[in-house]
Chain A
């Protein structure tokens, strides 16, 4: 469909130019054309719902502007990245080279993100990351044209340490999958927990995405720590919560985690999740007028309840709107565009946040407790949490 329409409009333009005998200057042509926005998101597979939520959120932010960016119409392009890292570069190139997008929005999976990242750095196309928390994208390999609107993998756990020690839990066991996201989450936990005066008794791990936790739970019971901190997400998280409760550990050892432990799995985990404490940049139950208004609008438009991924997609839209408005839709004016996005304050459903120098959000982290299948906010665990951005030099 898209290609056929493209051929038609292009041939019409060529005929038009030929008949009038005029060749318009490049910049005027770019101005009058539509802004080309490409989504590279998972539309199939385990993360399919995340991709849909992100796109919905993004479109909602744009529709609040009358469906335009800095006064210009938008043409959307979509590529399903299948959460397949092996096709990351190829898929990103499809949007950048074939569809010639001005903005590439993507993605969820950190491995795929690295493919997009390479293409973005080589081509200079503006890339907005609506989820993937892989550190290097806003650290050693940060780039002027790459902005993240979600989190870095260590950000939620950076707020965890103090909250744990404040509750008198000074000896903890850490447990996660041995893979990049788990290691990065551990970095945040180790830093914040030891700084707050806590001691990590033991670091336990199992290969991703192994879910046979029983041996490690037995080990935790024999170590008798004050608390357990963890990073798990998705199906594995539900299973961990259930196994932890079935082993009776939830009665004597408080469980903490990065917020993804209890996102989207509370229905599956049931009562086993009750009382678990997590830190994250959002919660469905966040009791602010901004969040309530967002949730109402989203539910009305899409007949779905929004989640943290929808919020991140929405914020990606808000950020792009800020930038595009500042340059009146001329996305070719990169210097002014990036400066506007760097300086923007995003009035998000999660609360106001700003961009760090390395292009990662500086945001509040909430402490949340699971009650009746809901992440109840019990306060701000830490205000204005920033990723270190270590090694970032904007070229």
Chain B
């Protein structure tokens, strides 16, 4: 591998890592603040991707589809929290796992009824559909850079929201000590609704921006879900900063593992996880 290729692979791993972060951030937020293990998180990614496909066909514009999709995801997340999840915060983790595992099947079936079982593709927006020539025979799609840009912007936004705003302060307070926060007059139910809707929306956005790259197909949620959990576990359950570091790390190991040691490509990420857990049983950034 020469230096130019090394740099391109670095870019690949960064881009993959950032997308993973978008997904894992929602999962770790929901767990860290409400203590809910949400196995259905991958389904939100899938629903996002299908929304992008269906809405793009409707509006003829991916940007508009993503904006509308975000609003729908927020409403959907809010409703889901209100109808189902809020009744499960105090329940055993096993109950939560059963609920969210059931939801996976329900969302798959809904998807099948609404949109069928076909594989679909979403066109990359005209303005960013070209590729940049990197080496003599390899070009890099501009859209991949756009996706990375969106992920970075959202990561910064999330950081700002949690550490710099009043709402963020309330969220942190609620996560740290629920009773005390309530005693201080913070409407914790509202906060939970907001956080859950936010987590769902993050996953849906990841699905929507990834749709043109990954194509849209049944079961796409379950494959990312496992990676998501790996990221959350490595980063430390509940830590958004940990999720970012872990996602980038997983991106690196996965990318270079595939290229340098293809025989164990499937295991590389899990070996990383096992290694981290051996020395830091609670993940890199303990809450």
CA of A45 to CA of B108, assembled, Å: 8
CA of A364 to CA of B144, assembled, Å: 41
Residues on A with beta carbons closer than 8 Å to the beta carbon of B258: 204, 206, 215-216, 219
Residues on B with beta carbons closer than 8 Å to the beta carbon of A209: 219, 223
| Chain A 252-287 interface mask (CB, 8 Å, partner B; 1/0) | 110000000000110111100000000000000000
Q: Is the CB of B138 within 8 A of A247?
A: yes
**Does B28 have its Cβ within 8 Å of any Cβ on chain A?**
no
CA of A216 to CA of B15, assembled, Å: 14
Nearest B-chain residue to A48, judged by Cβ: B117
Residues on B with beta carbons closer than 8 Å to the beta carbon of A270: 121
Output the least CB separation between B47 and chain A (Å).
16
A210-B219 contact in complex given A178-B265, A253-B137, C-beta closer than 8 Å = no
Nearest B-chain residue to A215, judged by Cβ: B255
What bracket does the count of chain A residues touching chain B fall in?
Answer: 35 or more
From the candidates A205, A206, A218, A246, name the one contacting B141 in the complex (CB within 8 A): A246
**Does A21 have its Cβ within 8 Å of any Cβ on chain B?**
no
Q: Is the CB of B262 within 8 A of A205?
A: yes
**Does A203 have its Cβ within 8 Å of any Cβ on chain B?**
yes
A222-B5 contact in complex given A206-B266, A207-B265, C-beta closer than 8 Å = yes
Nearest A-chain residue to B260, judged by Cβ: A219
**Does A328 have its Cβ within 8 Å of any Cβ on chain B?**
no
Q: Is the CB of A269 within 8 A of B262?
A: no
Q: Is the CB of B119 within 8 A of A238?
A: yes
Output the least CB separation between A219 and chain B (Å).
5
CA of A357 to CA of B139, assembled, Å: 49
**Does A49 have its Cβ within 8 Å of any Cβ on chain B?**
yes
Residues on B with beta carbons closer than 8 Å to the beta carbon of A211: 214-215, 223
Nearest A-chain residue to B123, judged by Cβ: A270
Interface centre among A206, A218, A235, by most chain B C-beta atoms within 10 angstroms, is A218
CA of A238 to CA of B220, assembled, Å: 13
Q: When A and B form their complex, what is the total count of cross-chain residue pairs whose Cβ atoms lie within 8 Å?
A: 119
**Does B58 have its Cβ within 8 Å of any Cβ on chain A?**
no
CA of A336 to CA of B1, assembled, Å: 62
Q: Is the CB of A235 within 8 A of B217?
A: yes
Q: Is the CB of B12 within 8 A of A238?
A: no
Residues on A with beta carbons closer than 8 Å to the beta carbon of B213: 239, 243
Residues on A with beta carbons closer than 8 Å to the beta carbon of B187: none
Nearest A-chain residue to B267, judged by Cβ: A207
CA of A222 to CA of B2, assembled, Å: 8
Residues on B with beta carbons closer than 8 Å to the beta carbon of A239: 213-215
Residues on B with beta carbons closer than 8 Å to the beta carbon of A268: 118-121, 215
Interface residues of B in 1-51 (CB under 8 A from A): 1-2, 5, 8-9, 12-13, 15-16
Residues on B with beta carbons closer than 8 Å to the beta carbon of A236: 217
Q: Is the CB of B2 within 8 A of A205?
A: no
**Does B177 have its Cβ within 8 Å of any Cβ on chain A?**
no
| Chain B 68-82 interface mask (CB, 8 Å, partner A; 1/0) | 000000000000000
Interface centre among B1, B120, B258, by most chain A C-beta atoms within 10 angstroms, is B258
22 A–B pairs (Cβ distance < 8 Å), ordered by A: A46-B117, A206-B265, A207-B265, A212-B16, A212-B254, A214-B12, A215-B259, A216-B258, A218-B8, A238-B119, A243-B213, A246-B139, A247-B141, A248-B131, A248-B137, A248-B139, A249-B137, A251-B137, A252-B137, A253-B137, A265-B119, A270-B121
Q: What residues make up the interface of B, taking CB atoms closer than 8 Å to A?
A: 1-2, 5, 8-9, 12-13, 15-16, 112, 117-121, 131, 133, 135, 137-141, 144, 213-220, 223, 254-256, 258-259, 262, 265-266
Going nearest first, the 7 A-B pairs with the smallest beta carbon separation are A235-B217, A207-B266, A248-B139, A221-B138, A215-B255, A268-B121, A235-B119
Q: Beyond A215-B13, A218-B138: 11 further Cβ-contacts under 8 Å?
A: A45-B219, A212-B16, A212-B254, A215-B256, A221-B5, A238-B215, A239-B214, A249-B137, A251-B137, A268-B118, A268-B121
